[in-house]
Amino acid sequence: MIIGLGIDSIEIERFSHWHRFSNVMLRRIFSEKEIVYCLQNGTTAAERFAARFATREAFFKAIQTAYPTTYIPFLSICRIISLSNAQNGSPTLLIEWDMLSKLTNNEISTPLSALVSITHTRTTATACVLLQA
């Protein structure tokens, strides 16, 4: 059963300078693995950061849809999720459900299924997150 849906689009240009940020600053939003992945290729760093940020925004919207009476600060969401690639290259959303449970005083105690899709054009990165119980 679908219980939450979130989508977000971001202008890639907003992230054109993020490759110059310190690792400490980037770790406020992204996981270490995501930072390494994004910085692997200087020409794609901005679109990679933008797609991961859009994923966080989409997850934030999906979780707020699923649990409308529970507010979780956006930066807290940023620290408990990360985007990686499955063996076949498809995006996979990794969520620290234990931390999410603590942030919500156990209101969200059961891990959900989270599906994610990301795409980008030359100018925009878009992510969609679907939560299922």
- Read off the pLDDT of residues 37-92 as tens digits, 9 standing for 90 and up: 999 998 999 999 999 999 999 999 999 999 999 989 999 999 999 999 899 989 99
CB under 8 Å to 112, separation ≥6 — which residues?
Answer: 3, 4, 66, 131, 132, 133
Going from the N-terminus, what domains does the chain have, and what CATH number goes with each? 2-132 (3.90.470.20)
- Read off the pLDDT of residues 84-115 as tens digits, 9 standing for 90 and up: 989 998 999 999 999 999 988 888 878 899 99
Could you tell me the CA-to-CA distances from 22 to 32, 35, 49, 57, 79 in Å, in that order?
Answer: 12, 10, 14, 22, 17
Handedness of CA 97, 132, 83, 123 (dihedral sign): negative
- For 10-14, 19-23, 93-97, 107-111, which range has the lowest pLDDT when averaged over its residues? 107-111
Could you tell me the CA-to-CA distances from 119 to 51, 54, 106 in Å, in that order?
Answer: 7, 10, 33
pLDDT at 5: 98
